[in-house]
Amino acid sequence: MKFHWFAEVTYDGLPPDFPAPGQGGWVDSPIAMADPARVGANYRMFIRLMQQAERAGFDGLAVNEHHQTPFAMTPSPNLLAASVASTTEKAAILVIGDSLALYNPPTRVAEEMAYLDCLSEGRLIAGFVFGTPMDSTHAYGRPPIELRERFHEARELILRAWEEPESFAFNGRYTQLRHVNLWPRPIQRRPPIWVPGSSSPETWELVTRENYCYGHLSFSGLKAAKPLVDGYWDYVAAHDGDLNPHRMAFTQIVCVADTDREAEQKYAEAVRYFQRVRDPATRWATPPGYHSSAAMAGMLRRTTTPEAREDKRRAVSGEMSFWEYDEKGYIVAGTPDRVAQRLRELATELRVGQLIASLHMGNLPEETAAMNTHLFGTKVIPQLRDLWADRPDHWTPEVSRARVGAGSLVAGS
């Protein structure tokens, strides 16, 4: 099993009454709340934590793309990835990912990802994402009905730009280029490709057909994720796809401490902060045309129960206790042994071979996040390395896979 340290770069200086009920933390959050100097301190903290994560034995360092939100201040994940790529040696640089439909021309993604792969000596994982409605439609003005077509055209162009031996012309519906002649090219002929999603059958079809790694990037807990993940694996099986667990990635907030009591003391406030900031207002999350009719039908078939909807409301409002968050799967918390046992159950039940662990959340102090990273890397990861060890992993770079066979580094080495 592989483990990736996820940098969900949340601004840690929001007032306690933000956001107001029903307003969410995306698109139109007042910029007056942000202190640029504090934003810079947040970025430097995440760089230090990711550098530590590599020393602690993590297989990958994960960054993402979002826009106009204090929940995730990474409008260009490639910038943060470059800062980490130049100061680490073994961990994969997991960009999960670039929102392809937002780039004009998409060769910008091909160039920057090639730069990252060269800089890191072949450690890039190329994440291609459709983008949230908040990012794509409202922050960047892309008509939602065009989003998937733009994504697929951009994906075709990027892959050709990495692999074509000669300069070529590209004449798509949204991009026309007379000369595509990429400098530089990636070290890896084609970096491993991951595509995050939730319940769209179009995304399932893509990752199954192309044998990409599928990422379920959700912070709503195991109970909410299980019907969707089960539906995905059922689709893969029905279409003769690869059932290798290493092509399933899953995000999980994890809070490790020496005792359960210490875990609650150190993480409870940050977990509530994270939950109340992460959700968008409904008016931003559901633009007409963003979901296809097939996706809408699937969502209706898997409509959550009233209990699950109430759980989400209480989670976002901060009404849950710390251990309720744990019970519902929003977090996995406690001692290293308890966390390892819970994660083994999760990975086995969902067939997860790539765990994207969120070890900093909300307004957590750096000291606590560093402790969390150390305990997870040195006391949790070693207990779970045997999971799926008999299955080949084609979805992380060869350089990063080699560290597992040679034995992971320990913190401080």
Say what the pLDDT of residue 413 is. Answer: 35
Give the homologous superfamily in CATH for domain 2-406: Luciferase-like domain (3.20.20.30)
Q: What is the pLDDT along the chain (413 residues), one digit of tens a residue?
A: 999 999 999 999 999 999 998 899 999 999 999 999 999 999 999 999 999 999 999 999 999 999 999 999 999 999 999 999 999 999 999 999 999 999 999 999 999 999 999 999 999 999 999 989 999 999 999 999 999 999 999 999 999 999 999 999 999 999 999 999 999 999 998 999 999 987 788 899 999 999 999 999 878 777 788 888 999 999 999 999 999 999 999 999 999 999 999 999 999 999 999 999 998 988 888 888 776 666 655 655 555 567 777 888 888 888 899 999 999 999 999 999 999 999 999 999 999 999 999 999 999 999 999 999 999 999 999 999 999 999 999 999 998 888 765 554 443 33
Q: What is the pLDDT of residue 304?
A: 59
Is the CA virtual torsion 313, 316, 322, 327 positive or negative? positive
What is the model's pTM? 0.94
Q: What local confidence, expressed as pLDDT, does residue 285 receive?
A: 85
d(CA 310, CA 288): 25
Q: What is the pLDDT of residue 404?
A: 65
Write down the domain spans for the chain.
2-406
pLDDT at residue 317 in the model: 84
pLDDT score for 295: 64
